[in-house]
Structures are given as structure tokens and as C-alpha cells.
Structure 1
Amino acid sequence: MNEKILIIDDEENIVQLLSLNLMCEAYNIDVAYDGEEGLQKVETFMPNLIILDIRLPKITGWEVCQKIKENPKYKVISVVILTASAQRTDRDKAFSLGADEFLSKPFEIKFIVDRIKAILEKKSKNL
């Protein structure tokens, strides 16, 4: 497996938990702690999938998702919103911006890893 995953979240403990578990699954991981850094890493790292928090410093996760999905160069990147919000309006907004999945914190790490695997497997079959 050589899929690349970019984690954009300002909570270091969440980033570490996700990174460790996804690296154990042989994914190539990079991280960003705010939306601005996240957009820069999208350009340099070119991930297959992004795990994205909504409430980020500098640029919100909503803006990051929108910029990714509006850019023809990046719109094929899968986006998984992972946030503390479980509100239906946030879920609806995520999907309207082009997110592939909306998951709430707190979470069970195995479930997150399984969802990411499923999204990437489905994507590779559709290519």
C-alpha cells in the first residue's frame, strides 16, 4: 500500500492517534495543524485522502474542503470530515462541499481505519 493520507487537525493527540494507527496499516502519512498549512501540504504531498477537522486555526475546514473540491487538480482527493460536531447541518454542509465521509469525535479508531480503507479501496476500483 502506498496511499498517502494527510491529517489536518489542530488537536495533537488526535493527530498522533490517527497517524500511529494509519502508519501501522502501511499508509504514508503527513500532518498539518491548521487550514493554511493543510492547503500547502495538499500541494506538496498530493494525498489520496485527507482527514479534515472543521474548526481549524487560520482557515476553517469548510474553506479547505471547498478549495480542494473546486480545484480540478485536487477534486479527486477523498475528504473525510472528522469533527466534534454531530449536527445534521454540519453533516449536510460537508456533503454539499464534496466530502466523501462525515465522522464525529469521539471515535473508535478501528472504525475510522476501516472507513478509510473502504473509501480508498472503492476509489481504486473506480479508477
Structure 2
Amino acid sequence: MDISPMVPKDRKLIEGYGAEGFRIAGTLYAGSVLLMRDRVLEWDVTAMDELTIDRLEPLFGDASDLEILLLGCGLQGVLPPKELRLAVRERGPVLDSMDSGAACRTYNVLLAEERRVAAALILPRPETR
């Protein structure tokens, strides 16, 4: 039995994720990504302490109707600073942060429900010491 979510063909469904990258609509992205329903942008953020509202700006350009922004924080969910949450909210969407795996799964569910969702996903890479 096929349990794949029913999404329009032009939507960017996340097919897999891990330390090697994110597989989205048949393409492997080896680093962090900004993901919208119809496009994927490579993103140079590798950790939460690098995150600013400016680094999220590409999501707000033509996405004025964005309802939910999922923030995949890497291996562990982290509450972003209040200033960042407020700055995102001023642009329209609600910011929901969680680990990147949970953000991928949540994104797919919301995409299948035709919600106006985007995701900023930090690659879930184990820290090396």
C-alpha cells in the first residue's frame, strides 16, 4: 500500500534527510536549505548562532502569504531569540522551531494539507570535537 502524501507535482516534497543532506524532489542538497512550496535555495547557515532575520529574508520576498515558517535547528530543537521570533511575526508567518528531522516531517504534512508553509532547515550534522 502506497502511503505517500498526495501533493501537486510542482511542490517540493522532502524525501529524506540526514548528515549527508536533504533529498528534496529528487535532488540531494548537501547543506542547509531554505525551502518553499515551489523552490529550494541553498543556505549558508550551519548553526543556530548564525541565524538572523536577514538570513531568512529570501523567504519573505514573494511569499507575502506565508502562514507558517518551520525552523529546523539541526540535531536538537532550540528556541530562537525573542527578537527573531518577533521579526518573523512582523513579516506575517508564525515561527515554529524544532529539530531538523521533525521540521522535515512537519513540512511534508503541512504541504500535503495545502498550507502556506516554508522551512529553514539547518543540516543535522553531529558536532565534531
Sort the TM-score into its range (normalised by shorter chain): 0.3 to 0.5
Greater relative CO (CA pairs within 8 A, separation 6+):
2
Structure showing the higher strand proportion among its residues = 2
Greater share of residues in helix:
1
TM-score (norm 1): 0.43
